[in-house]
Amino acid sequence: MSLTNCRFYEEKYPDVDSLVMVNVRQVAEMGAYVKLLEYDNIDGMILLSELSRRRIRSIQKLIRVGRNEVVVVLRVDKEKGYIDLSKRRVSPEDVLKCE
């Protein structure tokens, strides 16, 4: 799958509490590094504590590299370029809206 540069919105960064589509690039001990598909593939991170409501036994079973996921924006630090995301706070209804 090739990632192209494409921005769906005029703003460079998403708003807090908005739903965004991401592509998982790397899974690490502290969470998952992702690219925001609707915002010109800028980097974001899903923190480990925000991956699931349940106890996490295996990160690889929850999130896989290369998959697209629906997440919600928790924090945006425009100065440093950090975007913290949550998969845990996304409801099944939200996923259906985004697909």
- The answer to whether residue 80 is domain-embedded is yes
Q: Which amino acid is at 79?
A: E
According to DSSP, the β-strands at 68-77 and 42-47 are unpaired
CATH of the domain at 40: 2.40.50.140
Indicate whether 3 belongs to any domain: no
DSSP category for residue 17: T
Q: What is the pLDDT of residue 1?
A: 47
- pLDDT over 90 at 98, yes or no: no
Q: Is residue 11 part of a domain?
A: no
Are residues 14 and 39 in contact, defined by beta-carbon separation less than 8 angstroms?
A: yes
Q: What is the tally of structural domains in the chain?
A: 1
Side-chain half-sphere exposure of 95, counting CA atoms within 13 A? 10
Q: What is the pLDDT of residue 60?
A: 74
Distance of CA 42 to the CA centre of its chain: 10
47 found inside a domain:
yes
CA 19 to chain centre: 9
pLDDT digits (tens, 9 = 90+) for 32-91: 999 999 998 999 999 988 988 887 777 777 889 999 999 999 999 999 989 999 999 998
Residue 63 covered by a domain? yes
The residue among 98 and 93 whose pLDDT is bigger is 93
Range of the domain at 91: 19-98
96: pLDDT strictly greater than 50: yes
pLDDT band at residue 7 using 50, 70 and 90 as cut-offs: low
Position 1 in a domain: no
Q: What is the pTM of this model?
A: 0.83
- State how far the Cα of 76 lies from the Cα of 39, in Å rounded to an integer: 13
Domain-located, residue 67:
yes
CA distance 3 to 96: 23
